Chains A and B, each alone.
Chain A
Amino acid sequence: MTALLSVANLSKRFRGLVAVDQVSFEVPAGEIFAVIGPNGAGKTTLFAMIAGALTPDDGTVTFAGARIDGLPPDAVCRRGVGRTFQIVRPFPALSVEDNVVIGALLRRSDMRSARAHARDVLAALDLADKHAAPAASLTLPDRKRLEVARALATDPKLLLLDEVMAGLRPTETDRMVAILRKLNRDTGVTILLIEHVMRAVMALAGRVLVLHHGAAIAQGTPAAVVRDSAVITSYLGAEAVG
């Protein structure tokens, strides 16, 4: 069986700086896969190339058997890749529900079924009671979940999550982890997350890729990766040892 997402020798340079250097990995369908690494490691660049926001200089991204590298972001989404933004971008003037309806309309042409789907997704993300509120009025944890809801409403096979735990308190992080785990279990959606919060990565991910200076320095289960000496010196540092 081939992987749902397969990234091969992906590279991106900004002028002289190599942001992502020959990175390869595969995510089988149904897995939760995490990419971690210190600030500036190239995580967001890697993410942007998969989502179609950036065109790679080298290498390929294959999704569900077809090349998607270089496609515009809307085409990548239509292929079945939903994404969130690290700095959340809700449509502020619209209600929470209408935000999600816009996602739901990707694969539904009539408003009634789009709205019904949006309600289901909101319920799954613990946002049902806030469906009528303007998106601009939500707190950060709610906005983070709205961001996931909107992407999920497009019925993705692969959900790309860009630091959805960042800025959340531990209780909110645990809530998000529980929601994502339930989604993955119930719907079988494959999840690729970029994350700083090790607590969430340890709890969620089946496998982890560690980036450092744009290159992949380790790959494996979370438990194996945190014992890797290269990872400890470059990223986790004293925090993990202590």
Chain B
Amino acid sequence: MSDLWGSVSARGRIVIALALAALLALPLFADRYVLSVLTLILYFAYVGQAWNLMMGYAGQLSLGHALYVGLGGYVAALLWLKLGIGPWLGVFAAVAVASAFGAVIGWLGFRFGIAGVYFALLTIAFAEFTRIGFDHLDFTGGAAGLFLPFEEKRLGEWWNLRGGQLLFYYLALALAAGAVLLVAVIARSRLGYRLIAVREDETAARALGIDAFAVKMAAVVISSAMTAVGGVFYAFYYNNLFPSQVFEISRSIELILAPIVGGLGTVFGPVIGAFILTPLGEGLIAITERFGINAPGVKAVFYGVILIVIISAMPTGVWPRIAALFGLKGRAS
């Protein structure tokens, strides 16, 4: 761990410390709305980081990560509703279920050499049939959704994740910061180098003794487990789960934009990407409302145009550019 901190440039350490201090102190100044936007930013930084491990480091394209969000959310919510098991315990079951799904998808794909876009199709298929399955499961509320009771008198029960904006803000901050730390540690470990080797050239990696199948399985299991934790957060933050919303492919796409824009295969890319995209989306909502434009899809069109501009201007992501510009690039970040 001290190695990790030591590999960050002096300027980088100052920036990290200042950013963390600012985020910790922010609730003192920000109102509820700002706090809710920041919570969303941190949530997307977190799940984006989970996806980044799989795509950015291991080079395996998943377009079905909403599956793990949904499974994590449903498992923890059901355990609480049906058995009274709180989310701090339920999260372990959520992680187990989601990573088991991840392992099955990974095994099918990697064992039978389904790679690239075909692997992506496999991940979409799993998310889609899970969505359809949940639509018809009465046990989980079916298409009508699953609701977590929200009562004023239980607001202080942090052990049941019943709380206000502040609780969820700090939780999201802890998740996002923890994910950055975890991925930074992995990236500098033997596993991290092996992930990158497999991403760069699987044939060459195998010739160097790397068991590519095992390495890719590790990536999908860790990534799906991390994403499931995000799902638990999602369920207890929004208090409702609809199969048509959580497993929807647009959810999977939404989750991968931050790391793509911020910089794939970089530790801070997903964070920077989330800090750009989420406020952009929120800002566009505010602006279109201000000007009374409520033609359907206007927001999406602007969002899409801005996305295209950013990606074509910085195809390797915003973070590498920022890091180079301000001399923040540590070794192998």
Contacts and interface: CB of A to CB of B under 8 A. Distances in A.
Specify whether A and B are partners. Answer: yes
Contacts of B207: 51, 73-74, 77, 82-83, 85, 151
B209 A78 contact: yes
A94 B193 CA distance: 10
Interface stretch (B118-126, B196-204, B220-228, B243-251): B196-204
B193 A101 contact: yes
Given A98-B332, A105-B194, A154 B200 contact: no
Contacts of A154: 208-209
A170 interface: no
B197 A91 contact: yes
A74 B200 contact: no
B200 A150 contact: no
Contacts of A98: 193, 332
Interface in A7-27: none
**Residue of B193, B208, B211, B212 contacting most chain A CB atoms (<10 Å):** B208
A105 B206 contact: no
A93 B200 contact: yes
B210 interface: yes
A111 B200 contact: no
Contacts of B218: none
Interface in A73-122: 73-74, 77-78, 82-83, 85, 89-94, 98, 101-103, 105-106, 109, 111, 114
Contacts of A150: 204, 208
A111 B194 contact: no
A102 B206 contact: no
A109 B189 CA distance: 8
Main secondary structure of the interface of B (DSSP, over half): helix
Given A102-B194, A105-B194, A109-B190, A74 B332 contact: no
A72 interface: yes
Interface residues of B, number: 21
How many chain A residues sit at the interface, stated as a range, is 20 to 34
Q: Which of A73, A85, A106 has the most CB of B within 10 A?
A: A73
B205 interface: yes
Nearest to B192: A111
Given A102-B193, A105-B193, A111-B189, A74 B209 contact: yes
B188 interface: yes
Contacts of B190: 105, 109, 111, 114
A150 to B, nearest CB: 6
B189 A102 contact: no
A233 to B, nearest CB: 36
Contacts of B212: 74
Given A89-B204, A91-B204, A74 B211 contact: yes
A66 to B, nearest CB: 16
Most buried by A among B203, B205, B206: B206
A89 B197 contact: no
Interface in B28-45: none
Contact of B201 (A74, A82, A91): A91
A96 to B, nearest CB: 13
Contacts of B196: 91, 93-94, 102
A91 B200 contact: yes
B209 A106 contact: yes
Interface in A143-159: 150-151, 153-154
A120 B67 CA distance: 46
Contact of A106 (B3, B188, B204, B208): B208
A74 B204 contact: no
A78 B207 CA distance: 9
Contacts of A78: 209
B208 A151 contact: yes
B174 to A, nearest CB: 27
A-B pairs with the 7 shortest C-beta distances?
A: A77-B209, A91-B200, A89-B204, A106-B209, A74-B206, A73-B206, A78-B209
Given A89-B203, A98-B193, A102-B193, 17 more contacts: A53-B203, A73-B207, A74-B205, A74-B206, A85-B203, A90-B201, A94-B196, A101-B193, A102-B196, A103-B209, A105-B193, A106-B208, A106-B209, A109-B190, A111-B190, A150-B204, A151-B208
12 contacts: A74-B207, A77-B209, A85-B203, A89-B201, A89-B204, A91-B201, A91-B204, A93-B196, A103-B208, A106-B210, A109-B190, A111-B188
Interface of B: 3, 188-190, 193-194, 196-197, 200-201, 203-212, 332
